[in-house]
Amino acid sequence: MEEKKKWKLPWKRRDPLEGEDMPEPETDEALPKSYYIAKYLQDGLALCLGVFTIYTCITGLLTDVIQRSMFLGFLMPMVFLNAFTKKRKEYGVIMKTTGAIFAAASMFVFFFTAANYTKMGTSYGTIPTLYLVVGTLGILLVLEAARRMLGPAISIIAGVFLLYALFGNYLPGALQNRGYTWSRIVRSIYISSAGVFSTPIGTAATIIVMFVIFGAFLEASHGSDLFMGIAFALTGRSTGGPAKAAVVSSALVGCVSGSASANVATTGVFTIPLMKKAGYPPYYAGAVEAVASTGSQIMPPIMGSAAFIVAETLGVSYRTVAAAAIIPALLYYISVFLSVHYESRKRGMHGMDPKDIPNAWISIKKYGLSLAPLVLLVVMIVMGYSAMYTAMYAIGAAIVIAELRKDTRISPVNIVKTLIKGCKGVMSIGSACAAAGCVIGVISLTGVGLKLSSFIIRLAGGHIIIALLLTMIALFILGMGLPTAPAYMLVAVLVAPALTDMGVPALAAHLFVFYGACLSSITPPVAMAAYTAAGIANDSPIKIGVQAVKLALVTYIMPIFFVYAPALIGQGTTAEIVLAMVSGVVGCLGLCMGTVGFFRTKVHPILRLAAFGGGLLCIFPGTVTDLLGYGLVIAVGVLNYIAARRSAHTSQIA
pLDDT in tens, 59-94: 999 999 999 999 999 999 999 998 888 765 556 788
Residues 6+ apart with CB under 8 A from 108: none
Residues 6+ apart with CB under 8 A from 315: none
Mean pLDDT of all residues belonging to the chain: 83
The pLDDT assigned to 219 comes to 80
- The answer to the question of residue 116 being in a domain is yes
Position 190: which residue type? Y
Confidence of residue 479 (pLDDT cuts 50, 70, 90): low
Reduce the DSSP state of residue 553 to 3 states and report it.
Answer: helix
pLDDT in tens, 586-616: 999 999 999 889 998 899 999 999 999 999 9
Q: Which of 488, 121, 128, 569 is nearest to 307 (CA)?
A: 488
Say how far apart CA 447 and CA 451 lie, in whole Å. 7
Look at residue 197 and tell me whether its pLDDT is greater than 90. Answer: yes
* Stronger pLDDT, 137 or 552, i.e. the higher one: 137
Task: Report the percentage of the chain scoring pLDDT > 90.
Answer: 26
Say how far apart CA 621 and CA 623 lie, in whole Å. 7
- The count of other CB atoms within 10 Å of the CB of residue 306 is 32
Q: Which stretch of 18-22, 167-171, 242-246, 604-608 has the lowest confidence by average pLDDT?
A: 18-22
Look at residue 349 and tell me whether its pLDDT is greater than 80. Answer: no
Q: How many structural domains comprise the chain?
A: 2
The torsion angle over the Cα atoms of residues 466, 472, 474 and 477, rounded to 10 degrees, is -140
Say how far apart CA 560 and CA 535 lie, in whole Å. 32
Q: Which stretch of 138-147, 206-215, 523-532, 575-584 has the lowest confidence by average pLDDT?
A: 523-532
The pLDDT assigned to 480 comes to 65
The pLDDT assigned to 87 comes to 62
222 in Cβ contact with 403 (< 8 Å): no
The pLDDT assigned to 19 comes to 39
Mean predicted confidence (pLDDT) in 400-412: 84
Q: φ and ψ at 598, to 5 degrees?
A: -150, 140
- The answer to the question of residue 147 being in a domain is yes
Domain end call among 129, 154, 179: 154
Confidence of residue 402 (pLDDT cuts 50, 70, 90): confident
* Stronger pLDDT, 42 or 498, i.e. the higher one: 42
- The answer to the question of residue 522 being in a domain is no
Burial 330-367 (b: 16+ CB within 10 A, else e): bbbbbbbbbbbbbbbbbeebebbeeeebbebebbbebb
Say how far apart CA 64 and CA 13 lie, in whole Å. 41
396 in Cβ contact with 237 (< 8 Å): no
- The answer to the question of residue 62 being in a domain is yes
Q: Which of 520, 480, 626, 522 is nearest to 565 (CA)?
A: 626
Question: What's the gap between Cα 638 and its chain centre?
Answer: 39
Q: Please report how many Cα atoms fall inside a 13 Å half-sphere around the Cα of residue 643, on the Cβ side.
A: 14
Write out the H or E segment, with its range, that includes residue 271.
helix 260-278
- The answer to the question of residue 118 being in a domain is yes
pLDDT in tens, 416-464: 999 999 899 889 889 988 998 999 899 888 888 778 778 888 888 878 8
* Stronger pLDDT, 455 or 629, i.e. the higher one: 629
- The answer to the question of residue 98 being in a domain is yes
Taking each continuous run of H as one helix and of E as one strand, the counts in the chain are 32, 0
- The answer to the question of residue 206 being in a domain is no
Mean predicted confidence (pLDDT) in 148-172: 89
Domain end call among 135, 154, 173: 154
Task: Report the percentage of the chain scoring pLDDT > 70.
Answer: 91
* Stronger pLDDT, 370 or 547, i.e. the higher one: 547
Look at residue 256 and tell me whether its pLDDT is greater than 70. Answer: no
Domain end call among 154, 186, 213: 154
CA distances in angstroms from 608 to 335, 548, 595, 597, 633, listed in the order given = 16, 19, 7, 6, 10
The pLDDT assigned to 3 comes to 43
Q: φ and ψ at 387, to 5 degrees?
A: -60, -40
Say how far apart CA 463 and CA 471 lie, in whole Å. 13
Look at residue 651 and tell me whether its pLDDT is greater than 70. Answer: no
Mean predicted confidence (pLDDT) in 274-302: 84
Say how far apart CA 200 and CA 484 lie, in whole Å. 13
The pLDDT assigned to 17 comes to 36
Say how far apart CA 391 and CA 319 lie, in whole Å. 13
Domain that holds residue 615: 586-654
Look at residue 485 and tell me whether its pLDDT is greater than 90. Answer: no
- The answer to the question of residue 424 being in a domain is no
